[in-house]
A and B are shown apart, each in its own frame.
Chain A
Amino acid sequence: MIALKRPSSWVLTIGLAAFVCTTGALVWVSRPPRPNSHMATLDRARLLLTANDPRSAVQVLEALGPPGELKTDALLLLIQACYHEMGFRRVIALCDVMSSRPDANPEFHFWLGNARLGMWQASQAEAAFKECLRRDVHQEGATLQLAKLYATQARRQEVEPLILELYSRGKSPPPEKAASFDPGDRILEPNLLVQLLIIQYFGWEAAAMIDQLRLFHEADPDDFEAQVALALACIRTDNHIEAWDLLRDCTRRRPDHPRAAAALLECALAMNDLEACRQWLGTHPDDFTDDAQVWDLRGQILLSDAQHERAADCFRRAVEIDPYLSQAQYRLGRCLMAAGNRLEAADRIEIGRQLNLASAELLKTVSAMQSVQPTAPQCLQLARLCYRLGKRRIATEWLKLAKAFGSAAADVLQLQTEMTRNPSGPIVGATHE
């Protein structure tokens, strides 16, 4: 007792006690499971996973028996532990075991997707995430991974429906989660919408993505989307020759694919290969007529060929399909200007400029919101900007957030009224979205 009155002794004693407790705990969680202690084993495995020790978690679960004999919940946990241990091939093998079971937990598709991604097998990962969502529409992780994959592969158009779907789903929880679900959490969670806007409006960082895209392509040379994405990154990093070869192959394999066709045209334009462009125009007069981007590219080719009138027709078709395609509006204006139609030219150029200003403003607002909770004025501002950019559905969500965060009712009502009056957006005659 006398000794314990000295501070150093206290430290020693506490340290010793802590060591004994920790060692004891580790010995306890690592000890071989006793028969009929299934739930306890799973708890221990979960604990080890939480403690970032997947290897021990795998060992604990393996002690329960071979994978084929494991119960479904244990098998799912083993899949998860193997994934965290970077055993991607094993995850795939275990998912095979799981998939053959009548009571398979659909979550395994999520881990299968992640393992495929870990092995750079993008198309198989995509298929797994989609399957996961088909079986469990509330799987947020799969949605986000899929959105990330689309963003990496410059497939922006596919991100919006995906995230909006998840966002709207959040308001009606699945029956099994209903008891613990607070709808307010989801509705007031703007992060998904912020991410969506970042993916849609921030420039695609091809130089930062190209290594990853190359790995996707190498891992699976038959993956069409991976090849198109790599080609696009090659164009953006001025490796036009490689891009051209990749895209020629893509368009041979899928002549009906608008993104590949558009990328091929972009590449030919970047190489100033007008002959190839003309040839494409000649052989594809009636293809992709519902794709605004392709019409815009057709216009650019004709513009490079100094065929202003024909180019104007193409840009007009592009803005008829997507009136919020700012560059097509602007280019149409420039063509009209060359044709001497100054009045409409000025209008089109101004529309293009206003759309670009709105995008720039949106980026500025979103950048300021990345790491902080948005304010009511920011939400209202984003609602206005999204509406100006023809994104009515996203605008509606921001408007709801603005309301929830306490925006003045009059401001909300004013925008709501405007959106009701012009449901397709502020550009006159637009029927987009």
Chain B
Amino acid sequence: MKFAHSRFCCPLLALMSVVLIGGGFLAQDKQPRLTNVVEQSGIDYEQVRGPYELYSMPATLIGGCMLLDYDGDARLDAYLLQGNHLDFDRQDPTVTNRLYRNLDDWRFDDLTFQAGVGSYGYALGGVAADVDNDGFVDLYVCNYGPNVLYMNNGDGTLRRVQDSALAGNEMSSTAAFGDLDSDGLLDLYVVNYVDWSLATNKKCFENGVQYHCPPNHFPPQPDMLFRNMDTLSFREVTQEAGADAERGTGLGIVIADFDMDGGPDIFVANDINPNFLFRNQGAMKFSEEGLLSGAALDGAGNTMSNMGVACGDYDNNGFLDLFVTHFTHELDTLYANSGRMSFDDKTVVAGLSATRHGRMGWGTHFVDYDLDGWLDLIVAYGHIDREPQDRGAFRQRPGLFHNLGNGRFTEVGRQAGDYFEKAWVGRGLAVGDMDNDGDTDVLINHQEGCPSLLRNDTVAAGHWLRLELVGTQSNRSALNAKIVVRCGNNKRVFEVFGGGSFAASSDLRPLIGLGDNRIVDELVVRWPSGQVQRWESLPGDAAYRITELGDLRPVP
């Protein structure tokens, strides 16, 4: 059939073209874009796990990473944790953790040895915060073997602190700081895994193929809670604080105020054991309420292989929710916090059941990558065995799940760039605004390869607000400070929480997506000290430095 009315058809076609092309642009603009820029960055770290043939427990976990501003230049630097030989006598002193200073414009310089943080050992996780409230970020590195506390000298160097109590000799997988007694000093919870050594290593086989033995082949090690008595004097208070629950093979931790009663609580994700949720009773006393709160098991009451943990208010109901990553045959679990210390498993109704398809989750974080005001999810996946005997593969595609704003997520990874198309052996995942451009970038470390540095290039994203909180009465890092942002009738809650993800430490500056709102009608900061500060009509698309009992200043 010929076009009999071409004079009508042409304008119609032109209009349709405009609509289609415009629509195409719109659709394209809304797509996430996270570009891996590690190759040009100067980061030349390659992960070392030690001999695979040992099928060791620490080697399943190795691959931690941290984002921290160690030199106070307002740019996030990267600290990448490293393995080595598991026989301490055979360790190579040249294979160390590596610190890369952010030179701006996505270029990094290796300053490991100048900064004095080039220790070697077998580093599994770590956490960064200003422990002595001197304005410079300190480091605590969790090892298979003694842990290490590095205090920042404030001159671009850090010194190793000899503290046998904090060092321990367990297999510590991760740790988190938090001001648990609201005294302005950061306390420390160290998560321990299993009592494993080369001498006690075991061999496990399935179908004639060797695989890494599950953690229940080894005795679990108890976690440890340290109270900061004075700037650098820590005392172990695990038992007296009531944090001596059953031993739990812990891998993930978050210290945050889940019941919004003012006292930070402690959530510990335990591998093949129920998670712990230590509810803060005040005066450095805790009660373990994991089972009663619903956060210990999945929604059907099953114990899962809990590994990484993301924390954030994904449904904007004013309470912090949790997302916990698991083994290949298990569904990662989304725990929606309905308040009153009650968590409901919303994984399936949130459309996150796709996470189960043969993927093993590790590092994870809630991030509002498109700044639409709803927290999305990013997950690093990868198996522990090169020849998995389940349906998983060793290398696995990472996951990026877009929050649709109606309680549901949809996976958008494949649209987000090459990084998400490829398969990796993901482990640690840290997030932060590495180029200070008002969106969240991502650092992910992998086993048997290089890390990835994902620059957020999502265009036509929403408006934003980044806050840098400086405690004066409270701890200087403002850990456990709460932020309430109101735009019109829409009120959202954020917290500067300790821990999160897996074997990682992220940017402590909250980055808040405002969606279409250019102005924040009301901003409230509730400090751990109890102080409350409030501002109104704050312009968005800006970063602000807020000092407790002081002022709010735009950050250039």
Contacts and interface: CB of A to CB of B under 8 A. Distances in A.
Question: Is this pair of chains taken from one and the same complex?
Answer: yes
Interface of A: 203, 205, 207-208, 237-238, 269-270, 272, 303-304, 306, 326-327, 329-331, 334, 337-338, 342, 345-346, 349-350, 352-353, 355-357, 360
A337 B348 contact: no
Give chain A's interface secondary structure class: helix
Given A304-B349, A326-B300, A329-B301, A346 B344 contact: no
Contacts of A269: 348-349
Contacts of B91: none
Contact of B354 (A205, A238, A338, A350): A238
A270 B300 contact: no
17 contacts: A205-B391, A272-B351, A304-B349, A327-B300, A330-B300, A331-B299, A334-B344, A337-B292, A337-B294, A338-B340, A338-B342, A342-B292, A345-B292, A346-B292, A350-B291, A353-B274, A353-B297
Contacts of B357: 207, 237-238
A54 B85 CA distance: 58
Contact of B301 (A238, A345, A352): A352
B473 interface: no
Nearest to B344: A303
B107 interface: no
A314 B297 CA distance: 21
Contact of B291 (A329, A331, A353): A353
Interface in B293-351: 293-294, 297, 299-303, 329, 338, 340, 342, 344, 348-351
A195 to B, nearest CB: 18
Contacts of A350: 291
Given A207-B391, A342-B292, A349 B301 contact: yes
Given A207-B357, A238-B353, A270-B353, A356 B292 contact: no
A116 B175 CA distance: 59
A427 B350 CA distance: 34
A327 B340 CA distance: 22
Given A238-B357, A330-B297, A337-B292, 15 more contacts: A203-B329, A269-B348, A303-B344, A326-B300, A327-B300, A327-B301, A334-B294, A334-B342, A334-B344, A337-B293, A337-B294, A342-B292, A353-B274, A355-B301, A356-B303
B144 to A, nearest CB: 26
Interface string B22-51: 000000000000000000000000000000
Contacts of B338: 306
B235 interface: no
The 8 A-B pairs at the shortest CB distance, nearest first, are namely A330-B301, A327-B300, A352-B301, A272-B349, A270-B348, A349-B291, A238-B354, A334-B294
A208 to B, nearest CB: 8
Interface string B343-386: 01000111101100110000000000000000000000000000
Contacts of A331: 299-301
Contacts of B299: 327, 331
Nearest to A360: B303
Contacts of B300: 326-327, 330-331
A326 B329 contact: no
A270 B349 contact: yes
A57 to B, nearest CB: 34
Contacts of A346: 291-292
A66 to B, nearest CB: 48
Given A207-B391, A331-B299, A353-B301, A272 B407 contact: yes
Contacts of A327: 299-301
B305 to A, nearest CB: 11
B344 to A, nearest CB: 7
B156 to A, nearest CB: 50
Given A270-B349, A272-B351, A357 B303 contact: yes
Contact of A326 (B274, B301, B350, B351): B301
Nearest to B347: A270
Contacts of A352: 301
A337 B303 CA distance: 19
Interface string B389-414: 00100000000000000011000000
A242 B299 CA distance: 25
Nearest to B330: A203
Contacts of B292: 337, 342, 345-346, 349
B556 to A, nearest CB: 45
Contacts of A237: 357
Interface string B412-452: 00000000000000000000000000000000000000000
A407 to B, nearest CB: 25
Interface in B119-147: none
Contacts of A326: 300-301
Contacts of B351: 272
A275 B299 CA distance: 21
Contacts of B329: 203
A74 B32 CA distance: 69
A327 B302 CA distance: 8
Nearest to B342: A338
A353 B294 CA distance: 12
Nearest to A342: B292
A337 B342 contact: yes
A147 B300 CA distance: 27
A399 B350 CA distance: 45
B299 to A, nearest CB: 7
A334 B292 CA distance: 7
Nearest to B358: A207
A208 B297 CA distance: 26
Q: Which of B291, B340, B354 has the most CB of A within 10 A?
A: B291
Contacts of B407: 272
Given A207-B357, A353-B274, A272 B408 contact: yes
Interface string B504-521: 000000000000000000
Contacts of A345: 292
A264 to B, nearest CB: 15
A258 B434 CA distance: 55
Nearest to A336: B292
Contacts of A342: 292
A210 to B, nearest CB: 12
Nearest to A203: B329
A39 B27 CA distance: 77
A238 B347 CA distance: 12
A352 B294 CA distance: 12
Contacts of B344: 303, 334
A385 to B, nearest CB: 16
A349 B297 CA distance: 10
Nearest to B292: A337
B375 to A, nearest CB: 18
Contacts of B297: 330, 353, 356
Contacts of B342: 334, 337-338
Nearest to A273: B349
A139 B342 CA distance: 53
Contacts of A357: 303
Contacts of B340: 338
Contacts of A303: 344
Nearest to B349: A272
A208 B407 CA distance: 30
A360 B216 CA distance: 12
A205 B356 CA distance: 12
A331 to B, nearest CB: 7
Contacts of B353: 238, 270
Contacts of B303: 353, 356-357, 360
Contacts of A205: 391
Nearest to A338: B342
A356 B273 CA distance: 12
